[in-house]
Structures are given as C-alpha cells and as structure tokens.
Chain A
Amino acid sequence: MKRLIILLLVLVSSSLFSQTSLIKGSVVDEKEGSIPYARIEIGTSQVTSESSGAFILQVPYGNWTYSISAEGFEDYVGTIEVEQDVIDMGFIILKSTADISTMTDISNDIRDNLIDLDDEGIKSQNISSILTSSKDVFVNTASFNFSAARFRIRGYDNEFSRVLFNGLIMENGETNRAPFSLWTGLNDATRFREEANALNPASYSLGMLGGSVNFDVRPSNQRQQTKISYSVANRSYVHRIMATTSTGLMDNGWAFVFSGSKRIGNEAYVEGVFYDGWSYYGAAEKKINNSHSISINVFAAPVTRSMQAPAVQEVYDLMDNNYYNPNWGYQDGKVRNAKVRKNHEPVVLLSHFWDINPNTSLVTMAGFMTGRNGTTSLNWYNAADPRPDYYRYLPSYQQDDAVTQLYIDAWQNDASHNQIDWDKLYQINYLSAMAGGQSRYILEERRMDQTQYSFASNFNHQLNNNIHISAGLDARRTFGDNYKTVHDLMGGEFWVDVDQFAERDFSGDSIMLQNDLNNPNRVVREGDIFGYHYKSNISKVKLWGLSEFAYSKMDFYVGAEVTNVQYWREGMMRNGRYPESSFGKSEVLSNFDYIFKGGATYKITGRHYLSANTAFMSLLPSFYNSFVSLRTRNEIIPDLEARSIYSGDLNYDIRYPRLKGRFSLYHTRVWNDSDVKSFYHDELRTFVNQVLTNIEKVHQGMEMGLEVQTTQSLWVQAAAAIGNYRYVSRPDAIITADNGSIPTENSIIYMNNFYVAGTPQKAYSLGLRYQGKKFWFANLSANYFDDVWIDFNPERRTERAVANISPDDPLIAEITHQLKAKPGFTLDASVGKSWKIKSYYINLNINVNNVLNNKNLVTGGFEQLRFDFANKDVGKFPPKYFYSYGRTYFLMLALRF
C-alpha cells in the first residue's frame, strides 16, 4: 500500500514537474523600436512583452506552434521544437499592418450614449464592455457584438469590474463604478491595456467578479507614432476628429504623448439630442536611469450633451417612432432640450516606476481628480406639469371617446402638445413676474461634483521560475459635493426655496416646507444653490496580495485583499421635515471589506486546459446605496450590512493554431444586498425612496467562444452566453417620502425567482471575418438576443398590491408577473481597406450596425414606480422601454505615420 502511494506521488510529481524550457526573446518593429504588449503564445503558455519588447516564458518540452501578435502588426507564426533548458528567440521583427480596428471606437460610442434616468428611479446607465479588444475569444465577440443590446458579462453590475491606469484604480467614489466618461474620446491614448477576464486576478490587481483592465498610459510604452483620424457617424455625434502623437522613448530619456479629439453633432440619431465634446491628453515621462522613471499624465473629456428619455409604448406608437424623446421642445422656433449634461472632470496622475532588479518592480502612483458634473432638469411650482408625456396628457387617460380622439389628434399634429412647449412656459413666467410673483417654471442643474485624492503602490516580484508575488497598497479619499442650482429662471425674477409638496400637504406649517431651516423662505436666483446640499465623504485604505504559481502541468494562485471603508454624509442644509437629522455630519459607516481568491489551471495537454476560479467577498454597498434618502437626511439604511458574495467558475480552453475556444460555467451568489430607488411620485408630489434590504441574487450560466480559421483568410467566430440571473429571496422594503407626507411603510417584497433586469440573459453571435490580401478586411455577424427582462416595481409585489383580490383572479398574475421583451435579431457588417504610401498608412473603415434596421429590439425597460393601488389598474402606469437604434454607421478615415 505504502509503495503504491509513493509510486503515485512520484508519477504525479514527475508529470507536474517534468522538464520545461525557458524561452526568451524580444519583439521589435521594422525600425527596431520595441513593441510592448505583444502577445507571445507558445503552445499553451502565453506572456505579454515588456516595454522593452522583451519576453520570457516557461514552456514544457515538445513540439509547439507559436504565435506572436501585437495590435497594428501582422501576426508572426511558426513552429518550434523545445528540447533545451534555455532558448533565445532573438529579435522577432513584426511587420506593420494597415488594419486597425474601429471596434473600440464604436463600443466606446455605444457606451457613451447614456440615458439619464435619475428621476425615474434608475441611476445612471450601468455599462459593461470594458474589455473591447481582449484576446479572449468570448469577451472579444461579446463586448462588441453584444454591446448595442447593453449586454453585461455574467449580468454583473459595473461596480464588480475594475479599471486601472498604470495600476491605480479609477472609480467613482460614490457609486464604485468605473468613471468611463473621464476619458471619453481618448481611445488612441488608451489603446494599450492588460486585461483579466471575469474572476481571474492580475499582477496589478486582484480584481473582483467582472474582470479588470489596466490601461498602460506610460509614455515610454507607446510606440512612436502619429495618428490623425476623421470620422462621421450617426449615433451620438456626427463628426469626430482625433489626433494623437507619441514620441516613444527618445534618446534623451523623455517620452511624450499628446492627444485630442473633438466630437460634435446635432440630432445624430435621436431628435432633440446634441453632442459637443472634446478631450485633451498630455503625458510626459523621464527615464531617470535604468531603474527609475517618473511620469505625469493629465487628461480630461469635457462634454456638453443633451439627453434622451424613454417613454411608454403608447407614446412610441402615437408618434410612430420608437426613439421619441420627451425631453425637448421648440423655443422661439429652435429646438431646446431640458436635460443637458455638462461634465468636465480633469485627472492628473503621477507615477514612479522602479525596476528594483530584473525580477522586482515597484510602481507608485498618486492621482488627483476634480471637476464638475451636472445635469439640468425642469422644475415647477404650483403649475401644470410641463412634460409632454405626463400620463394625464395621454389619450389613454381620457375617459370620453371623443376626447380621446381629440388627444390623439393633438399628439400627432401639434408640436406644442407632443413636445415641451417652452414658449408657453416663458409666457406664464412673464405674467407671474408682472404680478410680483416667482417663476412658475425653472431649469435647475443637479450637480454631483467629486474631488478624489488617491495613492497606490504595487509591488511585483518574480520569486523564482515558478512563483510570482504581487502586492499593493491603495488609499483614496473622495469628497463629493451634491446640490442643485437655479440654472435658468426662464423669464421670471426669482424662486423661493421651499418644498412645494410639503407646503401643500402641511398647509400652515411653516417649518415642514423649508428645505433649509437655517435660511427659511430664501429667495434664490440664477446660480444660487437651493433644494438640497450635502457632501459625501468616502475613505478607503486597501492592502492586497497575490501569489501565482506556475508549473508545467499546473498553475495556481491564491490572493487576498482587505479594505477599510468609511463613509459619512455631511448635510449643508437643515431640512424642515427632518430638522434633527439632516444638518451636519452623519454617523460614520465603517467596515472591513475583504476578498479571498483562489484558482488553478490544469494543462491536460499542450492544447487543452481546464481551469477553475473561486472567490469569496464581503463588501459594503456603495455610498450611494447605503443611505435612505441622501438628498434630505443623514439616515443610514437600518441594519446595513456588508454583502457577501461567493463566485466560482470552471473553464475549458482549447488552443490550436487555427482553432481557439473557451467554454465556461459559472455560479455566483450574493447575500445581504441592498438597493435604494428614488422616484418622483406625482400624486404625493414628492420624491419617494424605496429601500430594499436582504436581497439575495444568483448569477449562473455558461459562456462559449470559438474562433476557427477555415482558410488562409477566412475566420468563423461564434459566441454564446446563456445566463440565469435571478433574485432568490424576499427582501424587506422601507418606503418613505421626502416631504414626510406619508408614514414610513414596511413591506416584504415577494420577488423570489424574479429575473435580474438590464441585460439580455441569452445572447448569441455567429460571424465571419475575412482578411484579404492587399490590406482589406470584411466582417459580417449575426446576433440574437433573448430574455431581456423588464425591471420591476417592488411595491407591486407586496401584500398591499394584491389585497382584496380573490386568489383565482387572473388580475393577480397581471399585477405581479414580470415582463419580458421579445427576442431580437440584428446583423452587423464592416469593411475596411488600408493603403501604404511610403511610410504613411491610410485606413478607411466603414461599419454598419443593425444592417437590417431592426427598430423593434427592446434592450431594456422598467416598470414605473407608481402603482394604482386604488383601482389596481396595471395599465395606468405602464412600463417604459428603450429600443436599440436602427441602422447606424460609423465611417473613419485615418492617417498614421
């Protein structure tokens, strides 16, 4: 028996620790400039080249095919016989290719097209697709082909992905999400990146659930190149001009990168929407000596744009347009949109790179970001609702057939009825001003300005051939300033800062209606702060460590991260409804968040490998989701706890030279989650907050990606994501009104097994990619989406909602059943050609999304948070839908030299 065990151990150890070779080399371009981020794959081993172009990796003995690829270059392939301890491949020269992908540009564009839904109860649109040029077969397809359907990988909220610059985490302090809008329009400057998929950790960060990407913005890592491009499109903007120049590391030890872009367009696809943005980027690096280098990056993406809002299907049908936008109207003959977002949030990054020795590096970063982020919105006092699609202005609300017809005619023919009638709002304000009264209608701007200081240091050490250690420290402090100002008095003279809803409901009580008891009945004018004002304070200190072990047959890793999180709110106004708990500092909410990760990869053969990852996390909800009603008071969600998350996945990878594939199964469970939804209740005429606690969710499913090279120039790509994202508990809900007019309601929400909304849970894509000789390419892909579930109103799944209805009445199902959108199909195509003239490359790319112009693809929607409790009429406040755009194009002409 003992001998058997020893024999087994010997066999296992010999197979695990059989002979391997260390292969090294250097990837350079035709001008002998180094190519960082080239991907070197030998057999199943892979590595990315350093900034010097050098690479080193461990490969077991055998006969392998290899491939070396880098963006902007032709792939370099061959076979290699590995039978020595050390192999030096020398300088591998890659030939520049003219083909550059516009996929990033388009995905970014799609992602940038946010819909602001904050007064409908849903916070700013949550976007995934950070991994747009990943080499992972599934992610590569999913993030581009599925992005128009707002697909989220594994259904996760954006807060579970990590985005870093040079190893410094970039996150919005209040929502924990990656702040993509900070570098919109800087695609060329942020081209180099390292990515880790889903649960996989990386040397720069442990990551969470949804993958991580580290943008390498170190100037010396950028190749010397200048690129200028002009594009024309019809999604969010029409014209774009972008220019980027990098010097690469020059002889004097300096490296610079400059980039800028301008994007502009009026009503590119949706009526009433304009876009005016530009971006600037500058970076400099000085190599002090062979070990030390410092760099600075400064960038920002100031954008002014107006927004679209979803509407109910009745309105889309009336206007015969699934992209009807209720946010705009005519003012003196010109189009004016009430919701204008204006951001300018510059970022400064300082980095220090220290190559302590060939095996050890320490990168230290300091980051600073500040700026303004505001969105305008109409507000009104003792006046008729100015929104054209207010439910009482719809034909369905009218009770008489003749009147219904009258409304249908008005909707279809009268712009003062189907869009905002700005002229009338001004006339009403003029009349009021004449009588000495305040403006009845104003535009207010809601500001969410953040200033963040961050500091991080990442340590990497290759202990020996097999063990790599990464560790890091990250400390950051966010100061948020949230308030609203009077943006435009619209022809009036002033506004009085009181809560008109409390004034109405508590008539005669001059305390309840004050928004700021420290300044009661304040008269405010353009530029003055009013309504609400609070500061958010977030402090995080993080320590993490990761050990990666690589052996010829097996790799494994283990990692842990601990973060001390602290939040508190500071109220700057004493709210009349909550005089004791609104002004001044709140309680400090504090927690030790932690993440534990572990995983292993077993290399079955050189071409097949099996891996498993597992993670356990305990995370406090974001600042935004920890308070009951941030606008009015300091109250923290009662009994708030950290969420517990367990996740695991199993992956099977195939790597042949002409066939690559990945098949994965994953399962994630979340406990103790909480969520806050705020919406404007028009009958109570105040904001109502629904706070849900004790939410449990499951995200499970399978992902499949496959790429097959059928001929020299034709590839077939397929991807499938089949997910099952559900709620698996009955959360507790606390429902409160900001004007204090209804007593706090406690309910249980019967939403067990409801589907998580916001992404198609089933997505499939099949595509062809043709790479022709003489530098041209073409792509065609067919995509199919299903299981887009509509976000639901928790209050409709309570006992109160179905009270007094007999158990076998189908009305119960109508009230509680969750809606699903119809599945949809789209076809995307692109074609491009490049030319080389002396040392100049010219590219022309044309991309057409949704070639078949399918305008009926619902990519999401939500039930309104109001419910007709009195008559239980589900049709009174129907859901609002957003549709994927019809046929859109993106045409780009670029020059590189």
Chain B
Amino acid sequence: MKNKINLRISLGIIIALAIFVSGCIKEDFDKPPFNVPRFTMPDGAELISIAELKSMHTMSGALDTVTTEDNLYIKGVVIANDSSGNIYKTLIIQDHTSGIELKLNKTNLFNEYMLGQNVYVKLKDLVLGDYGQLIQLGTVFNNSIGQLPEASIKNHLFKDSLPGTPPEPRLINSFNELVPEYVSTLVKFENAQFAEAGMPYTDEGVANTNRTLNISGGSLIVRNSSYSNFATKIIPEGKGTVIGVLGVFNGTYQLTLRRDWDIYGFSAPVLNHVFTQNPLTTMGWTAKNITGSQEWNYDAVSLYMKMSGNMGQVNYENEDWFISPSLDFTNSAYPKLSFVHAAKFGSPAEELEVWISDNYNGENFESANWTKLTVPNFPSGEDWTFIDSGNIDLSDFGGKSNVYIGFKYTSTPESATTWEIKSVSIN
C-alpha cells in the first residue's frame, strides 16, 4: 500500500515538474526595430561645401587640420564604396560642388554606407592631406595622411535617412573638359576604349595594375586592385560606356572603377573595312553585274571602290551590286551601318541604294530576300567630297548570323552617277 501512495505522490510531483517545464526561458528573440538614421546639425553648426573644404588644403604633401572646433560639417552622398573590393578602407562622397575621399580604417564599409547614402562629416580634428595630389580626409599617421580609427568613425560620420538614388554621373565628352573640381566625383565616358582589351583587369601577382582608357581627346589611367571581384575578368573589346570616380596622381588624371557593371555597352565592330586594298580580292566582297557592261571596280591609286554607268561620256543602263562578305550579328543586338562615300553626277539619292539580306548564301541572289535600307546622307552629286553616310540602323537584323549588305547601283541612259566608297563599318 505504501508503495502505491508513494508512487502517487511522486508521480504527482513529477507531473508538477512537467508543468514547471513550460516556464522555461524564451529562446525566440524579437527583432529590433528598423532605425532610419536621422541627423540634424547642432545649433550653431556651419555647413561648408566640399569644394570649399578642399580649398583649405594648402599644398601637396601638407597635412592641414581642418578645424579644432566642433561646429563645422560637410555633407555629401556616397558615390563609391568598397563593395567590389577595388576600393579599400575608403568612402567617396560628393556634393553639388565637388567630391572627396574619406579614409576610414574599417572594412566592409559598403554594408553600412551604401551608394546614395547621405552622410554628414564632422570636421573636428580631421586632417586634409593628399596622395599624389589626390586630396583625402583622414587623420595623421606616420607623418602622412592616414585612416580614421574604426572606433572614431561614429564620432565623425553621421548617416541621414535611407540610401536614395545615387547622383547621375557627369558625362564627359572630351578629355579637355576635365577640371580639378571633378576629382573624386562620378564621371561617365561614352565611346571609350581600353587599350588592353582582351586582357584581364589586373595582372597576376601584383597588388594593383594600371590600364589605359582612351577617350575623345586623351586617355586616362584606370588603376585596378587584384582584391576586386572583377580582377580576373576580361576587359571588353571595342567601345562603350565607362563610369568611375575621377582621380588624379601627380598631375595626371586617373579613373577608379567601382564595380564591373559600370563598364557597359561595349561591342567590337562587326565589320570595319577600309578599302586600302581591293576588297573583291582581299576582303571577301563580291561584285554582281546584273545589267550593263560596266562593273564595280577597285581604284588602287585613290583607294576606293568605284562604279559608274558612264563610259566615254555616254550613259548606259546598269544595275550592279557590291556585296559584303557574310556578316555575323550574333553578338550585336543593335548593329549600325555607316560608310564613307562620294558621288558626282546624276542623282545619287535616287540612283544609289543599300540593301540587306539574311537569307542570301552567295548563290541565290535572285531568290534571296533583300530589304532596302534608308541611307541618311547622300552626297549632293555636285562634287567629289567624301561624306559619312550616317548611321543606318540594322537592329531588325540584330542577332542573326548570316547577313549580307549590298550596295546597289543603277543607271539609265539619261542619268548615271559615279559612286565611290572608301570604307564600310558596322558597329
């Protein structure tokens, strides 16, 4: 009997224990609220422009303490950070006047300072220095400009609001447009071309590699770090758009890339033929004589292809085609045709045409489908001046692999132009 009583009591206690179990420590944590950073400058504080700040730098190599007062600030938007690894322990901010590099001893800054983030910088005890004339804001370290210690960053950098759209890069059309105010701001170059197309962005075994970007009117050094995540990617061929942060090093302009998709729109030309040699024999062009005894021929002295229906002062009826080699547009979505030509006599705009086919195979001229193209610029016919035809949009044929361009010449006994074509290019 005692057994059973004991058992019951003990079972009861154990059940009580089991209930006790539910009073355990909660493991699931509430998520802290999302804090939108807010900052307003304290009363009496003054905001200066970045250009004004940079002007306080006395000379190259100097270390200028900006101020010891705690009421001076600059404000900028983050335009470049270390997300790709190409930039290290640096943030670049710009305002409407200029931009500046902030040297900060912290990695993975991009997690907290995203592109488009507004940042106020309290200038107290910060130092302006330069690296090869590129002005930087930081502290003094070993008698030169150094990074702000990580523990100090929260006393100097203040985020305001959520990251917004970063500012548009400034389009630079020509090298001569570059001025010192643009240093450390975001710039964009179109129709730029890398000298080292086909090579990787960085060489193996070195920390940094210089590449050359050719733009209209000059060229810039583009310096890449082997720690970037595009270090082993191949520089594209041809021309395209490049966005980056303008820099300077000992008097020469440089460009720092932020990430590899700042380089886009590059395409190698599909065709770039300049007729310094006979295209019919050396470049795969063909000539087809449909009507008349005059034919397309190559002028080896003046270096162009020529067709004329006029012979010995008499006009004859002719139809002649000058056909390109097979063109491959698979890597080109928006190919554009342009050529340099001259024409005199007759009515060039009516008698000269350019056609395109995607099912011609070299044999089936009659049965292939040819589409006429609109040429923007024809010579007037008054003189022998060579002009550019203008861009002819071939995007309807973009992506196709077997395309032919045909230059169709027609003449009648009443009218015959002389057509000269110096070069043809498709980009």
Binding site for B on A (CB under 8 A): 224, 226, 228, 241, 243-245, 247-248, 250, 256, 258-262, 264, 266, 274, 276, 278, 280, 304, 331-332, 334, 336, 340, 382-384, 393, 398-400, 403, 406-407, 410, 417, 422-423, 426-428, 430-432, 434-435, 440, 488, 490-491, 503-504, 507-508, 897
Contacts and interface: CB of A to CB of B under 8 A. Distances in A.
A245 B10 contact: yes
Contacts of A266: 25
B20 A262 contact: yes
Contact of B32 (A228, A247, A332, A340): A332
B151 A406 contact: yes
Contacts of A490: 31
A815 B218 CA distance: 56
A508 B3 contact: no
A245 B11 contact: yes
Interface in B241-291: none
Nearest to B9: A226
Contacts of A427: 32, 34-35, 112
A400 B150 CA distance: 13
23 contacts: A241-B20, A243-B10, A245-B11, A260-B17, A261-B17, A264-B24, A278-B20, A304-B27, A331-B29, A332-B29, A332-B32, A382-B108, A383-B111, A384-B108, A398-B149, A400-B149, A423-B32, A426-B31, A430-B34, A431-B163, A434-B163, A435-B114, A507-B230
Nearest to B19: A262
Query: Which of B27, B32, B34, B230 is most buried by chain A, counting CB atoms within 10 A of its CB?
Result: B32
Given A224-B3, A384-B106, A428-B111, A304 B152 contact: no
B33 to A, nearest CB: 8
A244 B151 contact: no
A99 B211 CA distance: 85
A398 B10 CA distance: 62
Contact of B6 (A331, A399, A430, A897): A897
B29 A336 contact: yes
B371 interface: no
Nearest to A279: B17
B372 interface: no
Contacts of B7: 245, 247, 256, 258
A434 B162 contact: yes
Given A276-B25, A332-B30, A400-B141, A507 B112 contact: no
B17 A417 contact: no
A247 B6 contact: yes
B384 to A, nearest CB: 53
Contacts of A393: 150
B204 to A, nearest CB: 12
Contacts of B108: 382-384, 440
Contacts, number: 124
Given A262-B17, A332-B30, A423-B32, A508 B233 contact: yes
A595 to B, nearest CB: 41
B232 interface: yes
Contacts of A383: 108, 111
User: Which 7 A-B residue pairings sit nearest by Cβ, starting from the closest?
Assistant: A245-B10, A332-B32, A243-B13, A508-B232, A260-B14, A403-B149, A260-B17
Nearest to B85: A504
A384 B107 contact: yes
A250 B151 contact: no
B205 to A, nearest CB: 14
Nearest to B27: A304
Contacts of B24: 264, 276, 304
B231 interface: yes
Contact of A245 (B6, B35, B162, B229): B6
B114 A431 contact: yes
A423 to B, nearest CB: 5
Interface in B16-49: 17-18, 20-21, 24-25, 27, 29-35
A410 B233 CA distance: 42
Given A245-B11, A304-B27, A432 B32 contact: no
A334 B18 CA distance: 27
A430 to B, nearest CB: 5
A627 B3 CA distance: 54
A897 B152 CA distance: 66
Contacts of A428: 111-112
A261 B14 CA distance: 8
Contacts of B17: 241, 243, 260-262, 278
B25 A304 contact: yes
Contacts of B150: 393
A400 B105 CA distance: 13
Contacts of B35: 427
A490 B21 CA distance: 27
B352 to A, nearest CB: 49
Query: Which of B17, B106, B152 is most buried by chain A, counting CB atoms within 10 A of its CB?
Result: B17
Interface string B156-187: 00000011000000000000000000000000
Contacts of B9: 226, 245
Contacts of A259: 14
Nearest to B113: A431
B203 to A, nearest CB: 14
Interface in B84-107: 85, 106-107
Given A241-B20, A431-B111, A274 B32 contact: no
A245 B18 CA distance: 15
A410 B151 contact: yes
B109 to A, nearest CB: 9
A274 B25 contact: yes
A216 to B, nearest CB: 20
Contacts of B27: 304, 340
Contacts of B149: 398, 400, 403, 406-407
Contacts of A276: 24-25
Contact of A431 (B112, B141, B232, B233): B112
A398 B27 CA distance: 37
B29 A334 contact: yes
Given A382-B111, A403-B149, 17 more contacts: A243-B14, A250-B3, A260-B18, A264-B24, A278-B17, A278-B20, A280-B14, A280-B18, A304-B24, A332-B30, A384-B106, A398-B149, A400-B141, A427-B32, A434-B162, A440-B108, A897-B6
A274 B29 CA distance: 14
A259 B13 CA distance: 10
A334 B25 CA distance: 13
Query: Which of B31, B33, B85, B230 is most buried by chain A, counting CB atoms within 10 A of its CB?
Result: B31
Nearest to A241: B17
A340 B18 CA distance: 22
A842 to B, nearest CB: 16
Query: Which of B83, B150, B152 is most buried by chain A, counting CB atoms within 10 A of its CB?
Result: B150
Nearest to B112: A428
Nearest to B82: A382
A301 to B, nearest CB: 12
Contacts of A264: 24-25
Contacts of A431: 111-112, 114, 162-163
B5 to A, nearest CB: 9
B91 to A, nearest CB: 14
B233 A331 contact: no
B291 to A, nearest CB: 57
Contacts of A228: 10, 13
Contacts of A503: 229
A258 B31 contact: no
Nearest to A224: B3
A626 B7 CA distance: 49
Contact of A406 (B31, B152, B230): B152
Contact of A226 (B6, B31, B32, B162): B6
Contacts of A507: 228-232
A491 B10 contact: no
A274 B10 CA distance: 28
Nearest to A255: B3
A340 B24 CA distance: 15
Contact of B10 (A244, A384, A406): A244
